[in-house]
């Protein structure tokens, strides 16, 4: 559910995460503390390999930190049972990846309906919301198309609509337009920002593109495993 402006939707406290391969331990995130409020859009800009995806996966409850806490809308995810954790991920968090990850055998409309069906919405309500969201992205004429019949920009618009399907309080995006040509990326990114602003959710968006980052409310970066404001 979208929260009132100013309410904290994501809070990371002293988060650390390392990867062990062979004899080596790579301390990717050393000490991350960060808060994101409803209605706020934050850019995460940092060089390749510094841990942006790792951070987004932890914030999106797709991965767990070695230490520290991740709160989603005030709920400490570390204290949730697995099924509650999945429910929070499904209802509170929308995730957009660089590659669309749509299900190829389902139409655009069905892809946007699916997370709603998982959240136990009625088929009728899910369909109505899917059509409305896809309409917002100018895809009224593509509802029954399979992803393989859509352009890259259209595929990514469907993926964004799917992330918004359950009215999450938090949107996390990992290079959401990084796979598109510059012009299409620019347009889709503006559409994404417009949708996020009009829904009032909090968003953390990783990008390598400084121009796109400048359109957000604030910019943070990763340095030596810690998060700094730019
Ligand atoms: N499962 C894993 N096992 C071992 N090392 C990993 C694993 N996942 C990521 N890494 C390493 O952790 C570091 C951070 O990776 P991550 O993908 O979070 O960076 P990133 O900033 O998102 O990079 P990019 O901008 O290139 O996507 C990299 O050095 C990567 O090789």
Q: State the pTM of this model.
A: 0.95
| pLDDT for res 52 | 96
Kindly provide the ipTM of the predicted complex, given to two decimals.
0.97
d(CA 221, CA 151): 32
Residue 105 Cα, ligand 1 centroid: separation in angstroms? Answer: 30
Residue 64, helix vs strand vs coil: coil
Q: Is a pLDDT exceeding 90 seen at residue 4?
A: no
The pLDDT of residue 3 is: 74
End-to-end Cα spacing for the chain: 30
The whole-angstrom separation of Cα 63 and Cα 55 is 9
Domains of the chain: 8-229 (3.40.50.300)
CA-nearest residue, atom 1 of ligand 1: 19
Spacing, Cα 18 to ligand 1 middle (Å):
10
User: 146 with 178: CB under 8 angstroms?
Assistant: no
Residues 6+ apart with CB under 8 A from 148: 104
Centre of ligand 1 from the C-alpha of residue 49, in Å: 5
Q: Which atom of ligand 1 is nearest to 20's Cα?
A: 4
Report the candidate in 179, 188, 228, 195 with the shortest Cα–Cα distance to residue 212.
Answer: 188
Probe ligand 1: pick from 20, 21, 49, 177, max atoms within 8 Å of CB?
49
Measured from the CB, is residue 62 less than 6 Å from ligand 1?
A: no
Per-residue pLDDT tens for 144-198?
A: 999 999 999 999 999 999 999 999 999 999 999 998 999 999 999 999 999 999 9
pLDDT of residue 102 exceeding 80, the answer is yes
Overall average pLDDT of the 212-229 stretch = 94
pLDDT, tens digit, 9 for 90 and up, residues 41-90? 999 999 999 999 999 999 999 999 999 999 999 999 999 999 999 999 99
Assigned token pair, 71: 């709160």
Q: How far is the CA of 72 from the centre of ligand 1 (A)?
A: 23
Q: How far is Cα 125 from Cα 121, in angstroms, rounded to an integer?
A: 7
Burial (Cβ within 10 Å: 0-12, 13-18, ≥19) of residue 145:
middle
Cβ of 48 below 6 Å from ligand 1: yes
Q: Is residue 32 within 8 Å of 52, Cβ to Cβ?
A: no
What's the chain's length in residues? Answer: 230
Sign of the torsion angle spanned by Cα atoms 211, 96, 66, 49:
negative
For residue 99 and ligand 1, the question of a CB distance below 6 A is answered with no
């Amino acid at each position: 559910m979208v929260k009132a402006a100013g309410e904290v939707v994501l809070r990371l406290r002293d988060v650390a995460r390392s990867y062990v391969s062979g004899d080596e331990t790579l301390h990717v995130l050393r000490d991350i503390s960060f808060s994101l409020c409803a209605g706020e859009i934050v850019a995460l800009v940092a060089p390749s390999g510094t841990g942006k995806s790792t951070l987004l996966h932890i914030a999106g409850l797709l991965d767990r930190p070695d230490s520290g806490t991740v709160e989603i809308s005030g709920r400490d995810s570390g204290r949730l049972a697995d099924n509650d954790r999945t429910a929070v991920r499904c209802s509170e968090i929308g995730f957009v990846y660089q590659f669309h990850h749509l299900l190829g055998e389902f139409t655009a409309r069905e892809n946007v309906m699916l997370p709603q069906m998982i959240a136990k919405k009625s088929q009728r309500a899910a369909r109505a919301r899917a059509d409305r969201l896809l309409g917002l992205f100018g895809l009224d004429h593509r509802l029954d198309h399979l992803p393989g019949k859509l352009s890259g920009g259209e595929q990514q618009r469907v993926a964004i609509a799917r992330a918004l399907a359950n009215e999450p309080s938090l949107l996390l995006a990992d290079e959401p337009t990084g796979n598109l040509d510059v012009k299409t990326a620019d347009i889709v990114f503006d559409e994404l920002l417009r949708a996020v602003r009009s829904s009032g959710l909090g968003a953390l968006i990783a990008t390598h593109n400084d121009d796109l980052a400048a359109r957000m409310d604030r910019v943070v970066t990763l340095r030596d495993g810690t998060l700094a404001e730019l």
